[in-house]
Amino acid sequence: MHDASVFRSIHVARFHAEPAVFVAPGRVNLIGEHTDYAEGFVMPAAINFATLAGISPRDDGQVVVYSENYGEKKTFSATAPPPKGTGHWSDYPMGVAAILAGEGHTIPAFSLSLWGDVPLGSGLSSSAAVEVATALALLSLIGAEYPGPALARLCQRAENEFVGASCGIMDQFISVNGRENHALLLDCRDLSFKLAPIPANVALVIANTMVKHSVAGGDYKTRRAESEAACAVIAGHRAGVRFLRDATLDDLERWGHEMAPKSLLRARHIISENLRTVAAEEALCNGDLKKLGRLMAEAHLSYSRDFEASCEEADAMVELAQNLPGLIGARLTGGGFGGCTVNLVEQSCAQAFAQALGKGYAERVGIEPQIHICQASGGAHLLE
Ligand code: GLA
């Protein structure tokens, strides 16, 4: 999928220097949505869609970033980079440079080429893949190393502080720490994780509704604010509750009436989603695929009804999947409001499932979807 030699030659033709090339994957989240910033649980897997970042040093004091996807290059001064993003694709690599500079690193002059096949705005973490690939590239040039969790945190800060998107840690964490054929149950409180093997007879079918989503957009922020307002009400009664991770459904019974109705619904989603996510990891590890599928179905309903983060198209994609042979579980994945559904499907049925789902969706919704049969992949690394 990623032809590194073609990518290298693109960098050499443009910058007349051999690059060091790094790859960072996108991700699909099996379950645990909008729980990461509430210090809860998520269970994503890295996938075989990724961003490549090629880097070489320059001697003219400039930082030049080039995107093969956009066919566009931007030039900055290495010593006076922009303080904030401007809503341009270059915000993601420059945000990483800015955070590293803030950490006390001297940013050298460099040329950076980027190319990726993670579908943009589809809820598969194309931005995290760009951040992580850039961070590894820049750190190699600087001659510094960060342990996995710290690297993920640095990239998340680039997105929070420079790009201005209030995302949690999930996407960057899994892009750094993904494992082949595994999902990962991540505790977003202390960043400890458990690997959950995805059985060989289970396929990851990712179905793109083709409805664009954006984490930088208003809906993500509103949902986060609504759920944090609910948490503040509980915290007012129960010391020790700092995040919805610390809250229970009982708390909602007792103090839900003090919350705005939307806040109560958002909190109910997050609190119940944490329970489902931990249970889903157990089900996956015990080979209880029926239970896993049921939890995914409940998660989708909760995401759609309580969190109101789905859309007609995604609901249709999930509903159509229910009637197809081989389905284990289906739900909308990622930040919401469009993007992709994740379908766990019996491997032997995956091809037929993908075809039938695509056909059914096109007929029902009038949009030609993109459907991919993906593999759970390893995390970001240097390409030799
Ligand atoms: C986006 C964010 C993540 C997470 C998900 C929702 O992908 O980047 O941090 O909040 O949405 O689960």
Q: How far is the CA of 99 from the centre of ligand 1 (A)?
A: 20
Half-sphere exposure of 15 (CA within 13 A, CB side): 31
First to last CA, the chain: 16
Does the pLDDT of residue 215 top 80, yes or no? no
CB of 270 closer than 6 A to ligand 1? no
Does the pLDDT of residue 29 top 80, yes or no? yes
Do 215 and 155 fall into the same domain?
Answer: no
Q: Residue 79 and residue 81: Cα distance in Å, rounded? A: 6
Do 331 and 239 fall into the same domain?
Answer: yes
pLDDT band at 206 (very low <50, low <70, confident <90, very high): very high
Region for residue 33 given its phi and psi (left: phi exceeds 0; alpha: psi -120 to 50; beta: otherwise): beta
Do 213 and 244 fall into the same domain?
Answer: yes
Q: Which of 214, 215, 244 to mutate to test the pocket of ligand 1 (most atoms within 8 A of CB)?
A: 215
For residue 70, the enclosing domain spans: 4-197+378-383
Do 330 and 363 fall into the same domain?
Answer: yes
Determine which helix (DSSP H) or strand (DSSP E) holds 6, and give its type and residue range. Answer: helix 4-15
Q: How far is the CA of 344 from the centre of ligand 1 (A)?
A: 20
Higher pLDDT, 120 or 23: 23
What percentage of the chain exceeds 90 in pLDDT? 95
Do 237 and 362 fall into the same domain?
Answer: yes
Q: What is the mean pLDDT of residues 320-333?
A: 98
Do 73 and 213 fall into the same domain?
Answer: no
Do 44 and 136 fall into the same domain?
Answer: yes
CB of 293 closer than 6 A to ligand 1? no
CB of 124 closer than 6 A to ligand 1? no
Does the pLDDT of residue 1 top 60, yes or no? no
CATH code assigned at 35: 3.30.230.10
Q: What is the mean pLDDT of residues 239-257?
A: 98
Do 368 and 262 fall into the same domain?
Answer: yes
* Residue-averaged pLDDT of the chain: 96
Does the pLDDT of residue 69 top 60, yes or no? yes
CATH code assigned at 274: 3.30.70.890
Q: What is the mean pLDDT of residues 341-367?
A: 98
Do 44 and 193 fall into the same domain?
Answer: yes
- Supply the residue whose CA is at minimum distance from atom 5 of ligand 1: 335
> How confident is the model at residue 216, as a pLDDT?
60
Do 186 and 216 fall into the same domain?
Answer: no
CB of 224 closer than 6 A to ligand 1? no
Do 212 and 193 fall into the same domain?
Answer: no
Number of domains in the chain: 2
> How confident is the model at residue 201, as a pLDDT?
96
Alpha helices by DSSP H, 169-311:
170-177, 218-237, 249-255, 261-285, 289-301
Note the pTM of the prediction, 2 decimals: 0.97
For residue 335, give the ligand 1 atom closest to its CA. 11
Alpha helices by DSSP H, 113-260:
126-142, 148-157, 170-177, 218-237, 249-255
Do 189 and 313 fall into the same domain?
Answer: no
Minimal CA–CA distance to 198: which of 353, 373, 369, 11? 373
